[in-house]
């Protein structure tokens, strides 16, 4: 209750102190504020005490809060995750930094068999307030072991909330919401977003799970864009606007829980759907979103829904192949035209 009261007190000035900062700076600011708000908040991870601070997101934490609350770990993902779960069960609020989501896979036993099950097995009498920051690489030769965006995997797992923020504002707000919630959560951060700026309140605030945001209103087609693809989706919408096509861009912000109401409300207006998903095509988030729409509203659709995803292939390291592997606003434009002008 003390933390909630402090949030309310500090929220009174939010609208007057917005400042343009990068995605990485917003995460760093949120981590500092979480640790200031409660002495029970601690950070664990690899390279978190380096001067570069995990792409700038953990800079200054160990200097300000000390090594007891900022615990750097060796390359031992399973150990690190298990230790974080134990600390959370014991009463700490843990921010666990996995510098690459690919190598977080070494800790799957701890995540699947302990973290996701803890509240269920205790009938919610025991909490495990742990948030995992899982970073995904893209571009500049990241290759197949530094670039997996496995949001669909974890969205399939009951007991864990999954967020995939596209802006600096959401990155900070969802981090603070996760730290001071009682459910374990995974926040998937695309490294390509870390340098992008957004207006962010200087004071702490929370972005709720399960609340999608319409980034741009439109009437001809609904474009649901996930994570880093929100940037490309807005560029595509701007291009199509010059051609007389009005695109509504919906950013889910969180996948579990997913805001089905906002998505279906948009479909009732546009009657067309395109989903841009930074994951693989088969059995992905795009397929799930299309399914939830067609199960309820297929009878009103003017065209079959389309998903824009990565191919079912590992990420190539060659620059030329990499450029063809990923897609941008131009590909989104071409796919939207398919549902507008079939």
Catalytic site positions: 146
Residue positions counted in the chain: 342
| Cβ–Cβ under 8 Å, residues 168 and 197 | yes
CA torsion through residues 327, 138, 27, 157, sign: positive
- Distance, in Å, from the CA atom of 92 to the CA atom of 69, rounded to the nearest integer, reads 10
Nearest to 97 by CA among 83, 114, 80, 112: 80
Instruction: Report angle CA 185, 30, 256 to the nearest 5 degrees.
Output: 25
DSSP class of 14: G
- Distance, in Å, from the CA atom of 7 to the CA atom of 294, rounded to the nearest integer, reads 40
| Cβ–Cβ under 8 Å, residues 159 and 122 | no
C-alpha to C-alpha distances, 236 to 218, 259, 280, 292, nearest whole angstrom: 13, 23, 21, 24
| Cβ–Cβ under 8 Å, residues 137 and 191 | yes
- Distance, in Å, from the CA atom of 251 to the CA atom of 172, rounded to the nearest integer, reads 16
Nearest to 171 by CA among 13, 29, 15, 328: 29
Cα 275–chain centre separation? 16
- Distance, in Å, from the CA atom of 19 to the CA atom of 62, rounded to the nearest integer, reads 25
């Amino acid at each position: 209750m003390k933390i909630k009261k402090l949030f309310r007190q500090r929220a009174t000035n939010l609208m007057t102190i917005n400042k343009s900062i990068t995605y990485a700076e917003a995460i760093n600011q949120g981590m500092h504020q979480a640790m200031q708000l409660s002495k029970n908040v601690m950070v664990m991870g690899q390279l978190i005490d380096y001067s570069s601070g995990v792409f700038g997101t953990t800079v200054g934490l160990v200097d300000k809060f000390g090594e007891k609350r900022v615990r750097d770990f060796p390359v031992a993902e399973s150990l690190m995750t298990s230790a974080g779960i134990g600390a959370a069960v014991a009463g700490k609020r843990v921010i666990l930094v996995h510098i690459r989501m690919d190598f977080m896979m070494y800790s799957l036993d701890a995540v699947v068999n302990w973290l996701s099950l803890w509240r269920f097995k205790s009938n919610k009498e025991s909490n495990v307030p742990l948030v995992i920051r899982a970073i995904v690489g893209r571009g500049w030769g990241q290759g197949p072991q530094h670039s997996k965006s496995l949001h669909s995997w974890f969205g399939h797992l009951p007991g864990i909330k999954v967020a995939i923020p596209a802006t600096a504002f959401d990155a900070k707000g969802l981090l603070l919401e996760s730290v001071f919630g009682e459910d374990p959560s995974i926040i998937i951060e695309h490294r390509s977003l870390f340098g992008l700026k957004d207006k962010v309140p200087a004071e702490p605030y929370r972005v709720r799970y399960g609340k999608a945001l319409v980034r741009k209103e439109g009437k001809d087609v609904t474009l649901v864009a996930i994570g880093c693809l929100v940037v490309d989706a807005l560029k595509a919408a701007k291009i199509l606007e010059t051609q007389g096509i009005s695109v509504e861009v919906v950013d889910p912000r969180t996948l579990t829980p997913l805001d089905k109401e906002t998505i279906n409300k948009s479909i009732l207006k546009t009657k067309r759907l395109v989903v841009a998903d930074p994951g693989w095509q088969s059995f992905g988030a795009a397929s799930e979103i299309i399914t939830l729409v067609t199960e309820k509203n297929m009878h009103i659709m003017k065209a079959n829904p389309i998903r824009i995803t990565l191919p079912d292939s590992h990420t190539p390291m060659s620059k030329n192949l990499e450029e063809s592997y990923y897609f941008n606003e131009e590909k989104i434009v071409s796919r939207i035209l398919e549902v507008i002008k079939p």
